[in-house]
């Protein structure tokens, strides 16, 4: 997801004359967490104001989700086996049964942007690949 979402992301116009329901519905879901809110034209002083309020609410929810995502990958997890934030050992199994091992560095240079790089254990050896991943993580976060 980029820093600036598409104008219509998560928004839908609702017009049901039979029940006098006119407004903007915002619905989003991330990792099982649902966020939904209706912005009635009548409550917000017309279509344009309801639309602006819906956009502002949607953007605030997205910013909060991005902050929580950034916190999640910038803190040590109980599942962290490397002991280094953002550095993990990755094992990839090809369809032919071959196994490839890497040390991977992951970081977020900006909200909503995730970068990663892998270093082959076969090419560099386990310790060197691990050190390269640590260095890449440190350089990526600092840039």
Q: What is the pLDDT of residues 28-43, one digit of tens each?
A: 988 778 889 999 999 9
Q: Is the pLDDT of residue 74 over 50?
A: yes
For residue 91, pLDDT beyond 70: yes
Residue 143 has a pLDDT of: 55
CA 42 to chain centre: 34
- For the segment 110-139, the average pLDDT, to the nearest whole number, is 91
**Cβ contacts of 124 within 8 Å, gap of 6 or more:** 132
pLDDT of 109? 81
User: CA angle at residue 70 from 129 to 34, to 5 degrees?
Assistant: 130
Percentage of the chain beyond pLDDT 70 is 85
Cβ(11)–Cβ(24) below 8 Å: yes
Stretch 70-90: mean pLDDT, rounded? Answer: 71
Domain ranges (residues) in the chain: 11-73, 87-142
DSSP 20-66: TEEEEEEEEEETTEEEEEEEEHHHHTSHHHHHHHHHHHHHHHHHHHH
């Amino acid at each position: 997801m980029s820093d600036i979402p598409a104008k219509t992301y998560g928004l839908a116009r609702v017009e049901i004359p039979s029940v006098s329901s006119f407004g903007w519905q915002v619905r989003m879901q991330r990792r099982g967490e649902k966020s939904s809110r209706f912005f009635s034209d009548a409550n917000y002083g017309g279509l344009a104001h309801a639309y602006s309020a819906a956009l502002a609410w949607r953007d605030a929810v997205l910013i909060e989700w991005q902050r929580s995502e950034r916190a999640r990958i910038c803190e040590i997890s109980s599942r962290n086996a490397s002991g280094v934030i953002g550095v993990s050992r990755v094992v990839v199994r090809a369809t032919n049964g071959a196994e490839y091992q890497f040390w991977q560095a992951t970081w977020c240079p900006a909200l909503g942007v995730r970068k990663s790089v892998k270093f082959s254990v076969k090419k560099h050896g386990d310790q060197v690949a691990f050190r390269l991943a640590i260095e890449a993580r440190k350089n990526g976060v600092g840039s």
